[in-house]
Structure 1
């Protein structure tokens, strides 16, 4: 017995010491500020969500206009209510489904409330605000498919809730009451509502829902329609909360049916534990945010981890629980540039499923997605930039999909006509003539040439020589639109004549203004040759002439001469527009033309002036994580100018140190020796303690782990 006691005491001492010295896991969510970008151009939202989830629940402060693409502007002091899903940083509105507004007393003439901005708070997986008109504290959290609301009503007041099945984000006030095409609402007992709505805003889609309450409905009132166009009802529900004064609501969504929504609810949120749900959401965010550990001051950490947060909000898995993932909200015209290459480093476990989802949409519609929402095509943008995403994945070694099937989808998408392609015209002229293709002829040519390049690389590794030569030839079509006189990308008609008169500053946008460019002008699109920078340098007369032309881009007057809707062309430095994606690789072109110091200067300026730790701190739409991905890559010191194939051009790190925790247990560390706000130039680079004199680093080198050391200085 004495022996047992002697052994037990040291054991208990060891356990006690272990518990006392255990170090808690870092909480990276404390550096995330969901309000950054939630004003002006950013079109972000501060609602509750989990990574890649279907739900984004939070306040709707406005509807029916471009400024409310996400349903929220931080300068607003009133809300219409709380909706269950929305878009992150887009330039078009949709979603914003199932609006709810808790209220007390008699039915108000207008359903909205002022809010106490001092009480408004948000963190990954959580949102809260006080409705001052009704003295109600509202909180929200989320699982992938379920929104959980908690409303604290004042004691002794009549407890009511508006449930508006007609509401969703619309592009105009005229559309507010006309976008629902069909709807069904079923009260299943006194604690559950089920149904569906078919809406047509950006595209036609049907969502299904289950709404469950923790308290019984004691009275319901059907409100009169505001317009003969309304197809979905609005109800005011009344509850008896008893003594706890708290109403909780679970809203489960599905893209397949009510039974799918019920399955999502049963699997993800069978209980009513609000705090546990918040904690699980927080854990899911920390698991992803922990993949990069950065050093720097609080502003830098806040901007970096908020950017990571925005990156992982989408693509959104619209499949039901226990089904194969189907990722949509694919803003590919934006995200192929940096977001998808970044997923291959920071979330590689998702990449094969992203590709499967694109191939699934190809099976359904006959071509790869362009801008996909809820598994359908919006035809919003140009090119077919699922192609570089798929090819980049394959070239980086992602083999969890059928390569032959993927190549078939790539080839078909680039040879069979659909709404945004006319391949016979493209092949006949070697470009899109502006008198045949009335909108975006230059931009469509430039972007299609890049997709052709990617298809050629895919064909090459698969041993398809004829396809390789075909797509390689087409990848040079961009050269047919570089005007030798102005040295700019310029429209040309079917007779081979340049557009005259020609205003190189005139902005244009599809669907609203005609014109030869997509959300841009000749100065911004001339550099859109991501796959053949050397070829562009040659056409512009060599490196010196090339960089002189680049200097003009950045140094000329910051003017916007629009011929239509050009609100996306923001964040100007001269005619460089960082607020819009076609410009994102341009600062790195100096490095490829022999002037890396100029790239380093510009990166420092862009990071410092276009990404600021405040509500209106983004210079343009976040565009489903692309603006954020540029920031992350640039802070790490490299960027995919050509986002297909795994070559990252070196820039200059904008943080003193960052450790990328790779999925294979390795780490890749980027360190800036002598880092300061004055030391913006790179004096030398080492990889794993050996001099590194290349212009780029490969994906393989990053994923192998190691240390990339930049020695910084204040002399270029």
Structure 2
């Protein structure tokens, strides 16, 4: 026994990088990717599988698959819409031809991942793959282990993408170890271009580009897939940029100047250890620790860095902007992330907050949208409802962040909230967002009310009393959707009459956003006193919350997002994320805590199925981190 205790004492504690698993959420409906990335990096170097065109393949990868198409450099984490998947590289042995199938089978037994590192053995080309990344560079190591006469290639596929269409590509051989080019695609949000420079550790053989490809500027145009002859053991580095080939080159030279794969991997993993290790937990259960650090890891995937090492970035006006004195970010899933993720970043990633806020200011200034809604690369996708750039900008200001142009931000958001954007016209004129098929009107009114309240708090803090009074008053507009007979929020027409028929378990997409009337019952997060009043006081609120958790889980919709249901509480989607904490306001915290613990232990774990719904750029995981701390923002 003494020897056993001594042996345990000599075992070094695991680091956060050893405890966090990038595979969490890659199965089920989590929609995450397992590949290598730096915290909030521009590059997400990860495998793509054949399921990439399905809803559960939004990230390009799904754990249920046993075939890999290749390794591309950009991916989304946990979204409900797919995209990116740019600049794919794949090892291949065989004949180079236009129709060659370069995909490969693999086994999860020969696949591993840690933050900043991914490895897999590909059975078809008999090649070991190792991947790591810096913020703007993907670093690959390929080792071909097979014997025979077949040639070894790295296939560079510029036509490949995840749920988007390639418009055009360009590839140029600069010298025996350098290629450069770009991929232009059209998908979620519009057109975008990704530029790259690819360096090889050893000279390549004669490049083969099968098919009739047009010659452009000394290179290849059209939808290019190139076969690059390489030796058995080869390293390659790919720098990417939204601004141009020279931007990609600068990123590559600055962030990965040498060929020491292990050094780059160690450097990125040290960053991950520092970022994750800044938050420590007392839990001893290895599974609980792995689950916590995996969720913290998933909370640091987005927003994504979107400027080059010299500060240049591509704006929403489709122009390259230089001279910025901040790091520009994109990938803001605001309808999701204003709830838990952005509050978490203000607490745990304070050095990034001002730059993220200034990014929203620049996007508003340069883009066509009244305010950022769901920015992706240099596009606005207009996905989801509300004006939640208001929410995160106001929160940053109220928490003391002053390193962004908050005066301009305030005027931008005020203008947005007084505009006619997406039902705000009737919300302003009538006092509610009038029902109309497909408008999600009831949800919009409630969320505009929350945005109004955020504007009021912001105005009050800045000494703008008239604005504060106006927005405080208008933040109560949501109450015009309250039906005292059903005690639910429901759709209201422009003439003031209720929309009929009223299916309390339906109208998803018509009146409610990815929810039904019960899942939006407590959505006025800014006005808890009124919610208590409308639901019959503290005791009435407890009864309504109890009823929500015990009633039927049936919903009259085929939308797959509404998962993790306990009665009508749906943890797999965002509108319910704050609901259990409302027990605290009715002096019944133990009731909420019991269900919270149940959710944390049954809807989260350290496996690929360890997320009950879409991670949504970190919102689902940030909820877990907050709840592990015992609070909710």
Q: Is the TM-score greater than 0.5?
A: yes
Alignment match of 2:338 (pick from 336, 339, 351): 336
Residues 1:269 and 2:271 aligned together: no
Q: Is the 8 A contact 1:308 1:629 kept in 2?
A: yes
Residues 1:406 and 2:409 aligned together: yes
Alignment match of 2:113 (pick from 119, 122, 126): 122
C-alpha distance after superposition, 1:111-154 (max 9, x if no partner): 31101321100001100101101111111000000001111012
Q: Give the equivalent residue in structure 2 for 1:488.
A: 488
Alignment match of 1:98 (pick from 84, 87, 90): 87
C-alpha distance after superposition, 1:373-405 (max 9, x if no partner): 114211011111111111111111111123321
C-alpha distance after superposition, 1:32-75 (max 9, x if no partner): 11111100200011100110110111110132221111011111
Q: Distance in 1 between matches of 2:78 and 2:424?
A: 32
Q: Which runs of 4+ in 1 moved over 6 A?
A: 23-26
Q: Give the equivalent residue in structure 2 for 1:17.
A: none
The SS at the match of 1:167 is: coil
Residues 1:553 and 2:548 aligned together: yes
Q: Give the equivalent residue in structure 2 for 1:645.
A: none
Moved more, 259-268 or 409-418: 409-418
Residues 1:478 and 2:478 aligned together: yes
1:672-687 to structure 2, matched below 5 A, reads none
Q: Is the 8 A contact 2:169 2:184 kept in 1?
A: yes
Residues 1:151 and 2:142 aligned together: yes
Q: Is the 8 A contact 2:116 2:265 kept in 1?
A: yes
Residues 1:574 and 2:567 aligned together: yes
C-alpha distance after superposition, 1:304-323 (max 9, x if no partner): 11111111111111100031
Given the superposition, is the C-alpha separation of residues 454 and 347 from structure 1 closer, same or farther in structure 2, using an over 3 Å criterion? Answer: same
How far residue 240 of structure 1 moved from its aligned partner, in angstroms, is 4.5
Residues 1:371 and 2:374 aligned together: yes
Q: How many residues align?
A: 596
Q: TM-score, normalised by structure 2?
A: 0.91
Q: Distance in 2 between matches of 1:464 and 1:353?
A: 25
How far residue 254 of structure 1 moved from its aligned partner, in angstroms, is 0.4
Q: Give the equivalent residue in structure 2 for 1:205.
A: 192
Q: Give the equivalent residue in structure 2 for 1:304.
A: 292
Alignment match of 2:77 (pick from 81, 88, 95): 88
C-alpha distance after superposition, 1:408-455 (max 9, x if no partner): 12101212234xx243221111111113x7411011111111000000
Residues 1:318 and 2:306 aligned together: yes
Q: TM-score, normalised by structure 1?
A: 0.81
Q: Distance in 2 between matches of 1:145 and 1:273?
A: 17
Q: Distance in 2 between matches of 1:608 and 1:225?
A: 56
Q: Give structure 2 stretches of 5+ with no counterpart.
A: 1-10, 214-219, 312-325
Q: Distance in 1 between matches of 2:88 and 2:256?
A: 20
Moved more, 129-138 or 183-192: 183-192
1:136-175 to structure 2, matched below 5 A, reads 136-154=127-145, 155-156=147-148, 157-170=150-163
Residues 1:617 and 2:610 aligned together: yes
Q: Is the 8 A contact 1:69 1:93 kept in 2?
A: yes
Residues 1:217 and 2:217 aligned together: no
1:351-370 to structure 2, matched below 5 A, reads 351-365=353-367, 367-370=370-373
Q: Is the 8 A contact 1:197 1:232 kept in 2?
A: no
Q: Is the 8 A contact 2:423 2:434 kept in 1?
A: no
Q: Is the 8 A contact 1:33 1:123 kept in 2?
A: yes
Q: Give the equivalent residue in structure 2 for 1:428.
A: 429
Alignment match of 2:170 (pick from 153, 170, 184): 184
Q: Distance in 1 between matches of 2:424 and 2:544?
A: 32
Higher relative contact order (CA 8 A, sep 6+): 2
- Larger of the two Rg values belongs to structure: 1
C-alpha distance after superposition, 1:144-183 (max 9, x if no partner): 000011110125541112211111110xxxx6xxx12233
How far residue 220 of structure 1 moved from its aligned partner, in angstroms, is 2.5
How far residue 215 of structure 1 moved from its aligned partner, in angstroms, is 2.4
Residues 1:47 and 2:32 aligned together: no
Q: Distance in 2 between matches of 1:283 and 1:32?
A: 13
Alignment match of 2:45 (pick from 46, 57, 75): 57
Q: Give the equivalent residue in structure 2 for 1:4.
A: none
Q: Distance in 2 between matches of 1:573 and 1:422?
A: 32
Q: Distance in 1 between matches of 2:361 and 2:423?
A: 22
C-alpha distance after superposition, 1:533-566 (max 9, x if no partner): 111111222222222122121111222320x5x1
Q: Is the 8 A contact 1:160 1:236 kept in 2?
A: no
Q: Give structure 1 stretches of 5+ with no counterpart.
A: 1-22, 510-514, 641-716
Q: Give the equivalent residue in structure 2 for 1:396.
A: 399
Alignment match of 2:247 (pick from 231, 240, 260): 260
Alignment match of 2:624 (pick from 614, 618, 631): 631
